[in-house]
Amino acid sequence: MTGDVWTIAMVAVLGLAAIGIYGLLILRNLIKIVVALQVLAKGTILVMVAAGGIAGKPAIGQSLAITVIVADTVVTVMALALAIQVRRWCGTLDTRVISSLRR
Amino acid sequence: MVIQTLVLSATLICALQAIRAPRLLISALWLAGCSALLALAIALLGAPEVGVVELSVGAGLVTIIFVFAINVAGEETIGMTSLVPRPLAWALMCVFLFLLIWLTLPGLVSPALPQDTLPFLRALWDARSLDTVLQVALIFSGVLGSLGLLAERRETAHSPRQAGAEGASS
């Protein structure tokens, strides 16, 4: 695998990380926030594979990428379950409305 | 290399649309497209095993969970005026990217590590077997936690609402 391919992969990682961080900062809907977290995790998966390829240890990078996929899925399930409970108890998914620290 | 560039560009576009889409269901579908394209890109980068896992878990299971959660929680249109002002969000994003590049670039430019030709399956099952055991524990804890969180509140037999309903029906 040539070095240029890994450079493109790292640029894509930066793009995914930027989109995820920007979404986490500006979004107000709890489920959309989980979507932004997923985009950030996709960047993490890609960087694990790319870093393994760059460092010459692809097997370690790929096994860590699988660990990231599993952990990220569990985090998503728990976050969505929490969002459903918030919707059930507060009646909304808007982070501006459910923030009780402002009162 | 052209194919990888195209696939990764399409992944970025899907991710951007997933953030920008006003409806939750459309957003989840764009995220599924992003995940499928990322799986293709990872397979093209020489890791087909990770690509298959990402395609089945990231594009399949997570999308189903998202659609289920959106069905339960209901569609809700919330305005795009954010808690953080847009210029501050852009500035924080640029700081984050600068730190990411600054901290990771030295390790990427000069990887002075010996080459490792360990096969993938041996690395997953033998060298990192503790990771695999922890993943299984994580999956079970996630399933149990989601069951506990999604469960309805149990109505007691003598709750006032139920007693009132019984009184009204009789």
Q: Among the listed ranges A50-54, B23-27, B122-126, which one has the minimum average pLDDT value? A: B122-126
Specify the pLDDT at position A101.
Answer: 59
According to DSSP, residue B46 is labeled T
Q: What are phi and psi of B114, to 5 degrees?
A: -70, 150
According to DSSP, residue A94 is labeled B
User: Which residue type is seen at B66?
Assistant: F
- Asked if B24's CB is within 8 angstroms of A31's CB, the reply is yes
CATH of domain A3-102: 1.10.287.3510
Chain A residues whose CB is inside 8 A of the B50 CB are 45, 49, 62, 65-66, 69
Task: Give whole-number Cα distances, A40 to A16, B24, B34, in Å.
Answer: 6, 18, 12
Query: Which residues, including other chains, have CB under 8 Å from residue B44's CB and lie 6 or more apart?
Result: B3, B4, B7
The CA distance from A81 to A97, in Å, is 19
Chain A residues whose CB is inside 8 A of the B45 CB are 1, 5, 9, 49-50, 53
pLDDT in tens, B102-121: 888 777 666 566 666 777 77
The 3-state secondary structure of B81-122 reads: CCCCCHHHHHHHHHHHHHHHHHHHHHHHHCCCCCCCCCCHHH
More confident of the two residues A91 and B120:
A91
Q: Give domain limits for chain A.
A: 3-102
The CA distance from A84 to A20, in Å, is 22
Mutate to test the interface with A, among B44, B45, B92 (most CBs of A within 10 A): B45
More confident of the two residues A54 and A35:
A35
The CA distance from B75 to B113, in Å, is 50
- Asked if B113's CB is within 8 angstroms of A29's CB, the reply is no
The B residues from 140 to 159 touching A (CB cutoff 8 Å) are 141-143, 145-146, 149-150
- Asked if A53's CB is within 8 angstroms of B46's CB, the reply is yes
pLDDT in tens, B124-168: 777 777 888 888 888 888 888 777 767 776 655 555 554 444 444
Query: Is the pLDDT assigned to residue A12 strictly greater than 80?
Result: yes
pLDDT in tens, B154-164: 655 555 554 44
Q: Give domain limits for chain B.
A: 1-75, 119-147
CB A83 within 8 A of CB A34: yes
According to DSSP, residue B156 is labeled P
0.90 cut: is pTM over it? Answer: no
Query: Is the pLDDT assigned to residue B170 strictly greater than 50?
Result: no
